[in-house]
Amino acid sequence: MQQDEQVSRYEVNRNVRMVLIRHDADLARIDYSFIGQTVYFYGDLVRPTMDFSVQEIEVLAREISALKRGHP
């Protein structure tokens, strides 16, 4: 793995974290990692106060997909 790829991976992971925080996701209940061209999630996508709606999950998915294309 080249250094540019490693930096990119860490940058995407950091940006995924920012997206999850912006949407008030409980980070203690979900893990994530960017490997290759895919962001993997493990655990529960929940909020401390309420559930995510289908529309909110779609917005999260679009925001995270845009990260891989270089749009923070």
Structural domain spans, the chain = 3-68
> pLDDT tens digits for 10-55?
888 999 999 999 999 999 999 999 888 889 999 999 999 888 999 9
The pTM of the whole model exceeds 0.85: no
Q: Mention every residue, 6+ apart, whose C-beta is less than 8 A from residue 38.
A: none
Using the predicted structure, report yes or no on whether residue 1 has a pLDDT greater than 80: no
Instruction: Confirm if 13 and 34 have CB atoms less than 8 A apart.
Output: yes
Strand, helix or coil for residue 43: strand
* Residue 10 Cα to chain centre, angstroms: 12
Q: Can you spell out the DSSP letters for 2-24?
A: -HHHHHHHHHHHHHHHHHHHHTT
The residue type found at 36 is: G
Predicted local distance difference test score (pLDDT) of residue 32: 95
Q: What pLDDT does 71 receive?
A: 45
